[in-house]
Amino acid sequence: MGNRRWFSLRKAGPPVVVLASLIVIWQAAVRLMGVEEYILPSPLDIAREFVSVAPRLFEHASATLGITLLGFAAGSAAGLLLAALLHLVPWVKAGFYPLLVLTQNVPVFVLINLFVIWFGFGMLPRLLLLMLVCFFPVAVAMLTGLTQADPKLVNYMKMIGATKGQLFWRLELPGSISYLFSGLKIAASYSVISAIYAESTADKGLGKFIQLASNGWQTSRVFVGIVTIIAISLLLFGLITAAERMMIRWRVRSEEEAGR
């Protein structure tokens, strides 16, 4: 356990040192060059602004996190179900997969404007946008994973009479877990970015917070919003990574117990 912690610290050390160095250089450059705060605030200016707007920032960040998690969960579930359907029913895949790809060629700002026209200014347009953004990487990753089953194992299971459903549940789906988590990581990053953009039509959220700060030339406040967005993205990515490790450990344990 101690060696593992030491390895983790050594792995995290270089990025932390580089980031700290960049912050020190940034602070020194702004002060020495006399850059105005509205052009480029120093890290200390951003920290002071963070403290001054903390209650309001928490309110906006909570709204963003809530819609992000809801859209991410719904979109990922839809992507998982769609991937299973396309994999199990070949004619559905032949008909719908090209349309699935086409949906990703429509710009996000066009979609949110259309959704607002169709569904109004409530939560539904933002939720639909996030679902559409999240389900594609999950669906594509799962479709790839479901086709990567070992052909020898597939042939063996068919020889012993396994049905298509049994192949799916006992071989193809368990073998695609790593692909699923890869898709979830991509979807998580997309969901935060899309939520920020969609909040330009909302009355609350980090997107609106940054928009109002930018309109008022409050550059320090804009950076506060940016840092908060990065923190939320890293949080979601870290949670998915932790869940992936737990799943891998559980699978290893299950395989070991089955082999005894």
**First-to-final CA distance of the chain:** 26
CATH assignment, 45-259: 1.10.3720.10
Specify the pLDDT at position 222: 92
Closest by CA position to 198, among listed 187, 212, 208: 208
Specify the pLDDT at position 226: 92
Mean pLDDT for back-to-back runs of 10 residues, the chain (260 residues): 54 75 87 84 90 90 91 92 87 78 76 84 86 88 86 81 80 84 89 85 85 89 92 90 82 59
Specify the pLDDT at position 152: 83
Specify the pLDDT at position 256: 56
- For residue 160, the 8-state DSSP code is T
Q: In the chain, where does DSSP find H-type helix? A: 2-33, 43-52, 54-88, 90-102, 108-119, 123-146, 151-159, 164-167, 173-175, 177-198, 206-215, 219-259
Report the alpha-carbon distance of residue 2 to residue 13 in Å, rounded.
Answer: 16
Q: Maximum distance among all alpha carbons in the chain? A: 77
Residue 31: half-sphere exposure toward Cβ, Cα within 13 Å:
9
Record the pTM: 0.82
Query: 92 vs 77, 88, 100, CA distance in Å?
Result: 18, 9, 11
Report the alpha-carbon distance of residue 24 to residue 106 in Å, rounded.
Answer: 41
Report the alpha-carbon distance of residue 48 to residue 52 in Å, rounded.
Answer: 6
Residue with tokens 């909302």, as numbered in its chain: 202
What Rg, from alpha-carbon coordinates, does the chain have? 23
Q: Are 145 and 87 in contact (CB under 8 A)?
A: no
Extents of the domains making up the chain: 45-259
Query: 45 vs 1, 22, 38, 165, 185, CA distance in Å?
Result: 40, 16, 10, 59, 32
